[in-house]
DNA sequence: ATAGGGTTAG
């Protein structure tokens, strides 16, 4: 911009090319673009289509869709292929897939030439619409035209299938990938990203990352972001650490900030809050995401105080919170029962920051109130929220009812859930347990009958632990782990010692699965919950001082929570368990959640 | 002058 001013002072002629270059250089600076726009109109440059096209594109990139639209429609007969392409991209960037597709149809109807730019942008529109069928049909057309091997179209297809393809999405993506003769770095990254977005394929993300290096590509910052985020859900701390080392060695150029952001969540997801904080502290530059990630880390570990401090520090450093910040901070309140703080943040969000609370924020509030025992307020909240309460909201309420033994409200919440998620086992299991707890055996039996009638089965509990850089999986009442016999023996021995120091098994957590279980059977089932097995395996195969981090797919059960407290005491070890809601750090017979969960 | 991949949230 300074150069531009000098140029004019020195009397040089400004032409369309100068302007287009300038517009590109002022991306993200809204004032500059607006200034240039005024200048170009007053100088008559708005008769060049290239100048207008540049404005369409860069207004959109700066978040000003409306201005892009008005330039586009103001162009009339000046509109060329590039204008149409730019506008389709602009709609895609703002998640207006339907408008992008309409524009594509109009464009072809009017006889404009469709090129690779158009095709890859249209694919993007299908992705933003999550329109599997439409995208699939479009894929067919691309094959007929022989465009599917083009690298931009190819990565667009991979991205589309990995995001919209559902369960089989990645295998469709793999098919596209195999068709491409020499995949470039972006195509590899798209594959890695796809695997990391499909949580159960995280391991494939890492394999793919290694394979990419083997065939001679140097990973860039984007490759690292994708593979590190895959490591977050992998529950394999050593894998994540290794890739962190690799990232440091490869001197990734520009955007170190997003790499660090993904490292923060990778570390706290693996139970290592200290290393997450260290990454955060060492960053030279941070953005909203950095703070959000770190706050979320503290929230999941139940450290409200540190989360609040960080929030304050974020404001002090001039970074504005966004909707995600408030999900993180509210969930911190949920996990440590800070009701009045939560209410305050909820109001601040609306009043000070003018952020409209979304369904997630309401669910957090319901969770917060309910868990704290304010069931009536929680119910009022769910009835008054401006969205149709979704499964997350009802599940939060149901969880609260279970905790505070409110059968009537639980029945309502469970009923709603059963309608919304007809195949989910949770509402049935919860209700049955609550009836059993209250001694209402007939009601319990009826819930179980209807569950069986609908062929709904409880998802088996699954726990993971990494020992000596190897991942081990334990499934409740499953004997397939090669060392399961030794684990059971160890566990039995440990149970004896635990009982000596006061552990009493709480049998109400033995979920009655099929028919009546006999006395001994309940005990056996509880003993073989996956988290107990994984913890026992961790204890017997590591030495004092080594960390034990177990990850579980479901919520930790009450008896296991109590048992692991005793295990930490009897073995004199620190044990970290991450269930699907938060972290529990057991030490000296106590849990970091303070039994508030 | 226009096209492909990325970080946080439940």
What phi, psi does A490 have (nearest 5°)? -60, -45
Architecture per CATH, domain A377-457, reads as Alpha Horseshoe (1.25)
Strand B footprint nucleotides (protein C-beta < 7 Å): 1-10
> Which chain A residues 296-315 have CB under 7 A to strand B?
296, 299
β-sheet with A590-591: strand ranges across: A470-475, A462-467, A548-552, A575-578, A583-587, A590-591
Q: Which two tokens stand for residue A590?
A: 């106590």
Domain ranges of chain A: 195-285, 377-457, 462-591
The length of chain A, given as a count of residues: 597
Where residue A515 falls among pLDDT bands split at 50, 70, 90? very low
pLDDT of residue A235: 83
Q: Kindly tell me if the per-residue pLDDT of A5 is higher than 80.
A: no
pLDDT in tens, A269-278: 999 999 999 9
Cβ(A511)–Cβ(A526) below 8 Å: no
State the DSSP code for A387.
Answer: S
Tokens standing for residue A91 = 């709609």
Assess contact for A522 and A507: CB atoms under 8 A.
yes
The yes-or-no verdict on residue A517 having pLDDT over 90 is no
Residue A518 has pLDDT above 60, yes or no: no
Confidence band, pLDDT 50/70/90 cuts, at residue A293: very high
User: For residue A525, what pLDDT is reported?
Assistant: 77
pLDDT at residue A457, as a whole number: 87
Q: For residue A201, give the 3-state DSSP assignment.
A: helix
pLDDT digits (tens, 9 = 90+) for A296-352: 999 999 999 999 999 999 999 999 999 999 999 999 999 999 999 999 999 999 999
Q: How far is the CA of A459 from the C1' of B1 (A)?
A: 55
Which residue has better confidence, A477 or A99? Answer: A99
A86 touches A107 (CB < 8 A) = no
Better pLDDT: A455 or A8: A455
A504: region left, alpha or beta (phi > 0 left; psi from -120 to 50 alpha):
beta
Mean pLDDT over A462-472 rounds to 94
Strand partners, A375: none
CA A237/CA A241 separation, integer angstroms: 6
Let me know: does A369 contact A379? Beta carbons within 8 Å: no
Taking 90 as the threshold, does the pLDDT of residue A252 lie above it? no
Per-residue burial over A448-473, b if 16 or more Cβ lie within 10 Å, else e, is: beebeeeebebeebbbbbbbeeeebe
List the beta bridge partners of residue A587.
A590
The separation, in Å, between residue A578 CA and nucleotide B6 C1' comes to 26
Measured CA to CA, the distance from residue A348 to residue A388 in angstroms comes to: 23
- Nucleotide with the nearest C1' to A260 CA: B7
pLDDT digits (tens, 9 = 90+) for A102-130: 999 999 999 999 999 999 999 999 999 99
Nearest to A52, CA basis, from A91, A79, A27: A79
Shortest-distance nucleotide from A119 CA to C1': B3
Q: Which of A3-12, A244-253, A481-490, A554-563 has the lowest mean pLDDT?
A: A3-12
Answer whether A539's CB lies under 8 Å from A548's CB: yes
Contact flag, residue A198 CB and nucleic strand B, below 7 A: no
Q: pLDDT for A134-157, tens place per residue?
A: 999 999 999 999 998 899 999 999
* pTM of the predicted model as reported, rounded to 2 decimal places: 0.91
Please report the pLDDT score of residue A520 as a whole number.
63
Which residues 155-174 of chain A have a CB under 7 Å from nucleic chain B?
155-156, 159
Residues 121-140 of A with CB under 7 A from strand B: 121, 124
Given a cut of 60, is residue A514 above it in pLDDT? Answer: no
Which protein residue has its CA closest to C1' of B1? A50
For chain A residues 268-287, those near strand B by a CB cutoff of 7 A are 287
Q: Sorting pLDDT into bands at 50, 70 and 90, what band is A459? A: confident
Is A557 buried (19+), middle (13-18) or exposed (0-12) by CB count in 10 A? buried
Q: Distance from CA of residue A252 to its chain's centroid? A: 24
For strand B, is any atom closer than 7 Å to the CB of A530?
Answer: no
Percent of chain A at pLDDT > 70 equals 96
Closest to A581 measured CA to CA, from A415, A403, A387:
A403
SS3 state at A72: helix
Handedness of CA A273, A541, A203, A168 (dihedral sign): negative
Average pLDDT, chain A: 92
Q: What's the CA A568/C1' B9 distance, rounded, in angstroms?
A: 32
Report which of residues 37-66 in chain A place their beta carbon less than 7 angstroms from any atom of strand B.
Answer: 49-50, 53-54, 57
Using a 7 Å CB cutoff, list residues 79-98 of A near strand B. Answer: 80-83, 85-86, 89, 92
Whole-number distance in Å between A102 CA and B4 C1': 21
The answer to whether the CB of A231 falls within 8 A of the CB of A192 is no
A339 CB-to-strand B distance under 7 Å: no
For the cut 90, the answer to whether the pLDDT of residue A359 exceeds it is yes
In this structure, of A43-47, A329-333, A472-476, the range with the lowest mean pLDDT score is A43-47
Q: Which nucleotide is nearest to A84 (CA to C1')?
A: B2
- Which carries the bigger pLDDT value, residue A5 or residue A406? A406
């Amino acid at each position: 911009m300074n150069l531009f001013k000098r140029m004019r002072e020195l009397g040089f002629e400004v032409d369309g090319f100068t302007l287009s270059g300038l517009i590109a250089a002022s991306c993200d600076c809204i004032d500059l673009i607006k200034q240039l726009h005024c200048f170009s109109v007053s100088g008559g440059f708005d008769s060049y289509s290239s100048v207008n096209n540049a404005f369409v594109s860069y207004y959109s990139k700066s978040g000003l869709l409306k201005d892009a639209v008005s330039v586009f429609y103001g162009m009339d007969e000046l509109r060329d292929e590039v204008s149409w392409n730019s506008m389709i991209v602009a709609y895609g960037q703002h998640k207006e897939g339907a408008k992008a597709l309409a524009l594509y149809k109009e464009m072809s109807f009017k006889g404009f030439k469709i090129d690779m730019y158009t095709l890859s942008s249209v694919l993007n529109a299908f992705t933003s619409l999550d329109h599997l069928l439409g995208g699939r049909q479009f894929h067919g057309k691309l094959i007929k035209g022989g465009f599917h091997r083009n690298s931009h179209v190819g990565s667009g297809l991979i991205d589309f299938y990995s995001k919209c393809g559902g369960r089989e999405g990645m295998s469709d993506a793999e098919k596209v990938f195999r068709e491409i003769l020499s995949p470039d770095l972006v195509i590899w990254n798209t594959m890695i990203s796809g695997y990391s977005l499909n949580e159960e394929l995280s391991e494939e993300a890492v394999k793919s990352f290694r394979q990419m290096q083997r065939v001679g590509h140097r990973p860039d910052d984007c490759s690292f972001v994708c593979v590190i985020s895959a490591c977050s859900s992998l529950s394999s701390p050593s894998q994540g650490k290794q890739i962190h080392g690799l990232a440091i060695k490869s001197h990734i150029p520009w955007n170190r900030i997003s790499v660090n952001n993904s490292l923060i969540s990778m570390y706290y997801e693996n139970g290592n809050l200290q290393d997450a904080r260290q990454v955060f502290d060492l960053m030279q530059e941070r953005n909203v995401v950095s703070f959000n990630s770190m706050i979320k880390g503290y929230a999941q570990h139940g450290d409200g105080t540190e989360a609040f401090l960080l929030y304050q520090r974020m404001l002090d450093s001039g970074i504005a919170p966004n909707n995600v910040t408030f999900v993180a901070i509210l969930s911190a309140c949920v996990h440590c029962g800070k009701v009045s703080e939560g209410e305050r943040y909820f109001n601040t969000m609306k009043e000070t920051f003018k952020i409209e609370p979304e369904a997630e924020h309401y669910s957090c509030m319901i969770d917060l109130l309910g868990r704290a025992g304010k069931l009536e307020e929680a119910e009022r909240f769910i009835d008054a929220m401006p969205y149709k309460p979704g499964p997350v909201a009802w599940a939060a309420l149901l969880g609260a009812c279970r905790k505070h033994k409110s059968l009537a409200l639980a029945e309502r919440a469970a009923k709603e859930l059963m309608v919304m998620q007809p195949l989910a086992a949770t509402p049935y299991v919860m209700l049955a347990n609550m009836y059993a707890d209250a001694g209402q055996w007939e009601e319990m039996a009826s819930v179980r009958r209807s569950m069986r009638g609908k062929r709904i089965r409880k998802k088996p509990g699954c726990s993971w632990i990494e020992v000596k850089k190897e991942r081990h999986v334990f499934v409740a009442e499953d004997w397939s782990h090669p060392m399961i016999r030794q684990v059971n023996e160890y566990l039995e021995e440990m149970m004896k010692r635990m009982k000596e120091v006061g552990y009493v098994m709480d049998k109400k957590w033995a979920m009655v699965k099929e028919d009546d279980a006999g006395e001994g059977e309940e005990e056996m089932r509880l003993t073989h919950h996956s988290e107990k097995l994984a913890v026992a395996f961790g204890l017997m195969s590591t030495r004092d001082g080594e960390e034990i981090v177990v990850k579980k797919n479901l919520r930790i059960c009450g008896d296991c929570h109590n048992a692991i407290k005793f295990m930490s005491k009897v073995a004199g070890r620190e044990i970290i368990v991450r269930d699907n809601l938060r972290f529990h750090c057991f030490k000296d017979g106590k849990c970091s959640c303070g039994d508030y969960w």
